[in-house]
Structure 1
Amino acid sequence: MTKQVNAHWTELVQSGNRIYIGANAGLPETLLAQLLAHKRNLSDVEILQISTLGDAPWAAPENSAHFKVNTFFISGPEIRQAVAAGRADYTPCFLSEIPTLLQDGTLPIDVALIQVSPPDEFGYCSCGVAVDITHTAAKAAKYIVAQINPKMPRTMGQSFLHIEKFAAVVNSEVPIATLPIAKQTSITERIGQYVALLVPDRATLQLGIGKIPDAVLASLTQHQDLGLHTEMLSDGVMHLMQQRVITNRYKTFHPGKAVTSFCMGSQTLYDFVHENPHVEFYPSHYVNKPTNIARNDNMISINSAIEVDLTGQVVADSIGHDFYSGIGGQMDFVTGANLSLGGKSIIALPSTAHQQSVSRIVANLQPGAGVVTSRGHVDFVVTEFGIAHLKGKSIRERSLELIRIAHPKFRAQLLADVRQHYWVPDYQANTPTDIPELGNIQLRQIQLKDEYFTLRPLNPADERRLQEFFYSHTKHTRELRYGYDPKLMSRENSCSLVSIDQSNDCALCLVQEQGTRTSLHAVARFYKIGETTCEVAFVTKETSQGMGMASVLLEQMIEIAVQRGLHKMFALVKAVNKPMLNVFLQHGFEIMSGGDPHEHELWLSLKEGAR
């Protein structure tokens, strides 16, 4: 079934019309070139678009009398410059809600210019790599003009339009625009590793485009049976599907299928999605609908930001008064992930900008900056310095969590700034510090008796968590740890215990992450005494004793002490505390004779060769 080519399709476009142009890698470049060639007959035509891949000559200054761009997402230098200069408009809207604006007449479309695959034997053309809002815009338009391109992949799902619906077609075989894979840096690689720690096996993922999503995907190669429900599909996703990391086997919505609305990447990616029954493309109003997203259990949304303030407000579409990108689907997926059983929303960004001269974790948002994701929606914020857990946290706790993952050179100023608003009390004197010996990634995943725990530094944001840990102990445990029964642990005392200089002393903990919940199971610390000696001590939650936590923590403490050049480590242990005595003895400590018969003094030589 064929349709006659209308060589004069531009006659369908009149001055004052609103034209929709296909998005992302589905941009109908041939049609746009023909439109520009006939611009002398047109005035005040509004070009409605979302993000596009490639140049945007219709937004150039010389075309401003003919075309005015109205974009839902700012991409590329030409569109960004046009918006900044006032030649183009930016319309903020959740991606899931844009189709409604087109369907209900809020933004009526006169002509939709789209790019599709050749028709099949039944006359159906596929929107290919760009179903997104293009499919909906075409159905809402008075007239559809289609660029039929044999190189456009035929994608499965709800991607098809019948050729009889087209007012005109132009045959044009041209390469589909590709997007090179961004080169990784040590910073984005660390961010990817931290985010991967938050992703459980069998989770369903949503990721965007760029260095950080690519770094996350590269860090997921050891995961099992992941699923995909995302607005955009990239080369990194393709690689994980080929490696059988993404299997979609345990998805609870569209099981067995990777669900997306558009893809951008290499020609290899486009070949991969062509007639691939395991990848289904649906319009944005379906893929991005929060209630649909939430039908995936363990839904993990991973998005980026321009800046985040210390209360958790996320700026993602502007730099101050200058609009930079768009709302896109961030809030759609943050909301959907929050509604999902076991879901998490993650915002990941580098800690600094402009060659480390500007902190992207800020006490106050820039004037004019717009909040895309509210402080009430974010579960986790990740930088190259770690993971901040925000869900259920007070403003004080959020501030300390976010200061901890800010760049170290900005932490003191952030703490000083946040004190001006009384968000952090005066007794919180120290900024969070890292343990240098743990390296770039300050977390360790530990498996103990078929359960997983995270080993990490204790930090100021753990103040309340340490209080809860203390009050969970029995009188017997408190007496074994402290030598007497301290019945109270004030916030001031808890703060002093978690706010230590980790480059001098050392405090570690083992925590268990269950969704967005964190529980403290064991704490270990050593205090430096003099130049070459330290005292070590532990306490483990009663319900976790006997799992080997003390051994894990002690081994890490010994390793850190050795790297710091300390010569001796000692501990004081009650004689009745046989399990703890055995832990020390198994790690080479020796009991010193004499002293109190009710308390043993144990020593370990840390000099090389002595152990």
Structure 2
Amino acid sequence: MAKAPAKLNWQQLLKSGDRIFIGSHAGTPAALIDDLIANAKQLHDIEIVQVYTLADNKWVEPQHQQLFKVNALFIGGDKVRQAVAEGRADYTPCFMSDIPSLFSEGVLPLDAALIMVSPADEHGYHSLGVSVDVVSAAAKSAKKVIAQVNTAMPVTYGQAFIHRDQIDSFFYADQPLPEMPAPELDAITERIGQYVSLLIEDGATIQIGIGKICDAVLRYLGNHKDLGVHSELITDGVMDLIKKGVVNNRKKTFHPGKTVTSFCVGSRALYDFVHANPHLGFYPSEYVNSPTNIARNDNMVAINSAIEVDLTGQIVSDSIGHLFYSGIGGQVDFSRGASMSSGGKPIIALPSTAQNGTISRIVPFISEGAGVVTSRGHVHYVVTEFGVASLRGKSIRERSLELIRVAHPKFRQQLLEEVRKHYWVPHYQLHTPMEVPELGNVGFKELLIDGEEFDLRPLNPSDERRLQEFFYSHTKETLQLRYSAVPTQMSREKSCTLVGVDQSRDLALCIVKQKGSVVQIQAVGRYYLLNDNQSCEVAFVTREKHQGKGMAKRLLQEMITIAELRGLTSMSAYVRAENKAMLAVFQKAGFSRLPGDEPTEVNLQLRLPRSAGSKPAEHN
């Protein structure tokens, strides 16, 4: 047990008008602050500088406003949020990586730092335990360090120690560390977590935030291999992956073999896990959040959330309109670091709607009063429950269409109309993106063809330029076999028509090769619903280097399955007689030749059985 609380003379330690820092996250010295409040006497107008504090934040309540004025560098908790909204507290936006320099350079000079530490070891060193982050810099810069010594504080390694000679006053008080229970996940959150997990490759190093979405991502990483962690925060979900061997840090290129973090928040089990664990390194924020250090991890994946995203890719994450809600934190640090990393991926993940589905979080322009935290140039991916929008290297027009694709379907037409007002999307762009639900929950299928990995998915409006490039990659022979002619032009308008498909009626699928933000179409398969609404005509084309490898077969199989599920009764195709390879694909799939008048063209047909659960096609 810790010693009995030392009686502190706060009138000697502090004076009115001082600026003090209080320890952050689960390392908030609550008993020490309670003692200050109880014994403040004639003290007043003390500025408290803090980031997120996992505590009751009683010092921000109105009855203490003559004693304290809070300056939040990150807003956490309803009391602080309300105080900022009412003008009783201030919010100072800043990157987490920059906060230490605010202290050390005297921009926010500290008269005292109130922190929590573990009992000293035999050499006189206390550990900052679960919260090294900006506490380390505050302790180094403050004129006085006042420490609550708590036997419940774990001892963590890395750069987590402070010697007793660096502490001016001690307050011995035990208290359990505050815990943060794992959030309950809903279907939307789970789907987002699943999509994000698909962007994370084996051997990647990840940064994860806090909250439902990040927890869902961690739960879907259970089958990954050789992941590493370089993150300002770790939670119970990271602990679980370490215990399973999923996170082993073997492939890390910076601090290989070690999980690097600056603080942890979670359960008592997590705090026990980090205690004296040599495989974890707790380092200050200026080190962990340095974009240069983050970028030293190859394949760095940064996962953060947002309040809203506009159609150019601007990220709002610290305010709801004029209401300041949280803070910049480490989002920009890690987004920038991941974008600089070899193979890195900055990801923003959020639900597509708010307020019970009544408001879209994908917006044509940011709300009045809201501020951009992460610029449109920093983010590579935006993920919602409707899929993954890839923004890197995309024009405003292309990223608008990508983001509309992951917006909630009921808002897509409205979003398309809004962006058309600004000429970001041309007048001939008629259709909003649509899913093909028959492809399954994630909307695409992973394929292994001839030893290479590909994705089979619907074409969508943002594929306009990719389809154009696909067309111009074809030889004259391929064009002749596919179109029975040699077309010489695929305009943007024509390409737009071909990718802007009403997928509930017609079908347009493609097989793509994707490496990060680099996507190339390898094959396209289509069917067009005929006037009887019961049959369709099928066609496809494959990039020359992949012809004969089974891509056409795979596309045809998928189209047959979808046609059956939609209740169609037959499929037809017209193939040039000399195209023996394509004729073989159709015939192996069960198509029969029909008599025809044109000797250079073969008419084929497939009768479809009505599968269980299928329903007749209903189209206008």
User: TM above 0.5, one fold?
Assistant: yes
Partner of 1:567: 569
In the alignment, is the contact (CA less than 8 A) between 1:117 and 1:150 conserved in 2?
A: yes
Q: Which of 483-492 and 428-437 deviates more?
A: 428-437
Shift of 1:48: 0.5
Shift of 1:136: 1.1
Report the Cα distance in structure 2 between the residues aligned to 1:191 and 1:527, rounded to whole angstroms.
32
Deviations 1:314-344 (A, max 9, x none): 0010011110000000010111011101111
Shift of 1:253: 0.3
What is the correspondence of 1:260-299 to structure 2 with a 5 Å cutoff? Answer: 260-299=261-300
Deviations 1:445-482 (A, max 9, x none): 22222221111110011111100110011111111111
In the alignment, is the contact (CA less than 8 A) between 1:3 and 1:164 conserved in 2?
A: no
Q: How many residues get paired? A: 609
Shift of 1:532: 1.0
The percentage of counterpart residues that share the same residue type is 58
Is it true that 1:550 corresponds to 2:552 in the alignment?
Answer: yes
Per the alignment, in what secondary structure is the counterpart of residue 43 of structure 1?
coil
Partner of 1:184: 185
Q: Which amino acid aligns with 1:389?
A: S
Partner of 2:468: 467
Report the Cα distance in structure 1 between the residues aligned to 2:250 and 2:548, rounded to whole angstroms.
36
Partner of 2:340: 339
Is it true that 1:478 corresponds to 2:479 in the alignment?
Answer: yes
Deviations 1:231-250 (A, max 9, x none): 10011111111111111100
TM-score, normalised with respect to structure 1: 0.98
Report the Cα distance in structure 2 between the residues aligned to 1:274 and 1:9, rounded to whole angstroms.
32
What stretches of structure 2 of length at least 5 have no aligned partner? 613-620
Partner of 1:51: 52
Partner of 1:404: 405
Q: Which amino acid aligns with 1:405?
A: V
Per the alignment, in what secondary structure is the counterpart of residue 101 of structure 2?
helix
Q: Which amino acid aligns with 1:459?
A: N
Report the Cα distance in structure 2 between the residues aligned to 1:258 and 1:219, rounded to whole angstroms.
19
Shift of 1:4: 11
Shift of 1:417: 0.8
Shift of 1:3: 10
Q: Which amino acid aligns with 2:58?
A: P
Partner of 1:134: 135
In the alignment, is the contact (CA less than 8 A) between 1:571 and 1:601 conserved in 2?
A: yes
Report the Cα distance in structure 1 between the residues aligned to 2:450 and 2:34, rounded to whole angstroms.
64
Deviations 1:37-63 (A, max 9, x none): 123321110000000113100000111
Report the Cα distance in structure 2 between the residues aligned to 1:182 and 1:311, rounded to whole angstroms.
31
Report the Cα distance in structure 1 between the residues aligned to 2:298 and 2:548, rounded to whole angstroms.
33
In the alignment, is the contact (CA less than 8 A) between 2:458 and 2:508 conserved in 1?
A: yes
Shift of 1:279: 1.1
Shift of 1:6: 4.3
In the alignment, is the contact (CA less than 8 A) between 1:436 and 1:503 conserved in 2?
A: no
Q: Which amino acid aligns with 1:326?
A: G
Report the Cα distance in structure 2 between the residues aligned to 1:203 and 1:223, rounded to whole angstroms.
9
Report the Cα distance in structure 1 between the residues aligned to 2:42 and 2:548, rounded to whole angstroms.
82
TM-score, normalised with respect to structure 2: 0.96
Partner of 2:200: 199
Report the Cα distance in structure 2 between the residues aligned to 1:601 and 1:372, rounded to whole angstroms.
58
Q: Which amino acid aligns with 2:537?
A: E
Cα 1:609–1:407 change in 2 (3 A) is closer
Shift of 1:596: 2.7
Report the Cα distance in structure 1 between the residues aligned to 2:263 and 2:236, rounded to whole angstroms.
12
Q: Which amino acid aligns with 2:594?
A: M
Deviations 1:247-269 (A, max 9, x none): 11000000011100001011111
Q: Which amino acid aligns with 1:595?
A: D
Partner of 1:533: 535
Is it true that 1:591 corresponds to 2:569 in the alignment?
Answer: no
In the alignment, is the contact (CA less than 8 A) between 1:385 and 1:440 conserved in 2?
A: no
Per the alignment, in what secondary structure is the counterpart of residue 276 of structure 1?
coil
Per the alignment, in what secondary structure is the counterpart of residue 162 of structure 2?
strand
In the alignment, is the contact (CA less than 8 A) between 1:291 and 1:336 conserved in 2?
A: yes
Cα 1:100–1:205 change in 2 (3 A) is same
Partner of 2:618: none
Report the Cα distance in structure 1 between the residues aligned to 2:242 and 2:249, rounded to whole angstroms.
9
Per the alignment, in what secondary structure is the counterpart of residue 39 of structure 1?
coil
Partner of 1:493: 494
Cα 1:165–1:609 change in 2 (3 A) is closer
Report the Cα distance in structure 2 between the residues aligned to 1:584 and 1:478, rounded to whole angstroms.
19
Report the Cα distance in structure 2 between the residues aligned to 1:180 and 1:536, rounded to whole angstroms.
53
Partner of 1:72: 73
Report the Cα distance in structure 2 between the residues aligned to 1:159 and 1:341, rounded to whole angstroms.
29
Partner of 1:7: 7
Partner of 1:144: 145
Is it true that 1:221 corresponds to 2:222 in the alignment?
Answer: yes
Shift of 1:579: 2.2
Deviations 1:496-554 (A, max 9, x none): 10001111111111112212211111111111112210111111111222332222212
In the alignment, is the contact (CA less than 8 A) between 2:3 and 2:173 conserved in 1?
A: no
In the alignment, is the contact (CA less than 8 A) between 1:273 and 1:279 conserved in 2?
A: yes
Shift of 1:410: 0.6
Q: Which amino acid aligns with 1:291?
A: T
Cα 1:199–1:409 change in 2 (3 A) is same
Partner of 2:616: none
In the alignment, is the contact (CA less than 8 A) between 2:567 and 2:611 conserved in 1?
A: no
Shift of 1:443: 2.1
Partner of 1:380: 381
Q: Which amino acid aligns with 1:582?
A: A
Per the alignment, in what secondary structure is the counterpart of residue 192 of structure 1?
helix
Deviations 1:99-157 (A, max 9, x none): 00011111111111111111111111111111100011111111111111111111111
In the alignment, is the contact (CA less than 8 A) between 2:112 and 2:144 conserved in 1?
A: yes
Report the Cα distance in structure 2 between the residues aligned to 1:209 and 1:545, rounded to whole angstroms.
46
In the alignment, is the contact (CA less than 8 A) between 1:307 and 1:314 conserved in 2?
A: yes
Report the Cα distance in structure 2 between the residues aligned to 1:175 and 1:449, rounded to whole angstroms.
57
What is the correspondence of 1:94-105 to structure 2 with a 5 Å cutoff? Answer: 94-105=95-106
Is it true that 1:413 corresponds to 2:414 in the alignment?
Answer: yes
Report the Cα distance in structure 2 between the residues aligned to 1:550 and 1:192, rounded to whole angstroms.
32
Deviations 1:85-104 (A, max 9, x none): 00111000010011000111
Shift of 1:608: 3.9
Shift of 1:5: 6.8
Per the alignment, in what secondary structure is the counterpart of residue 275 of structure 1?
coil
Select the residue among 579, 582, 587 that pairs with 1:580: 582
Q: Which of 443-452 and 425-434 deviates more?
A: 443-452
Report the Cα distance in structure 2 between the residues aligned to 1:546 and 1:12, rounded to whole angstroms.
81
Shift of 1:188: 0.8
Q: Which amino acid aligns with 1:8?
A: L
Partner of 1:433: 434
In the alignment, is the contact (CA less than 8 A) between 1:3 and 1:163 conserved in 2?
A: no
For the aligned residue pairs, the C-alpha RMSD in angstroms reads 1.5
Partner of 1:25: 26
Q: Which amino acid aligns with 1:568?
A: S
In the alignment, is the contact (CA less than 8 A) between 1:568 and 1:604 conserved in 2?
A: yes
Deviations 1:173-204 (A, max 9, x none): 21111001111111111111111111111111
Q: Which amino acid aligns with 2:377?
A: G
Per the alignment, in what secondary structure is the counterpart of residue 372 of structure 1?
coil
Deviations 1:387-429 (A, max 9, x none): 1111111111111111111111111111111111111111011
Q: Which amino acid aligns with 1:376?
A: G
Q: Which of 234-243 and 279-288 deviates more?
A: 234-243
Report the Cα distance in structure 2 between the residues aligned to 1:407 and 1:356, rounded to whole angstroms.
9
Deviations 1:278-336 (A, max 9, x none): 11110000000000000000111111100000111100100111100000000101110
What stretches of structure 1 of length at least 5 have no aligned partner? none
Q: Which amino acid aligns with 1:428?
A: Q
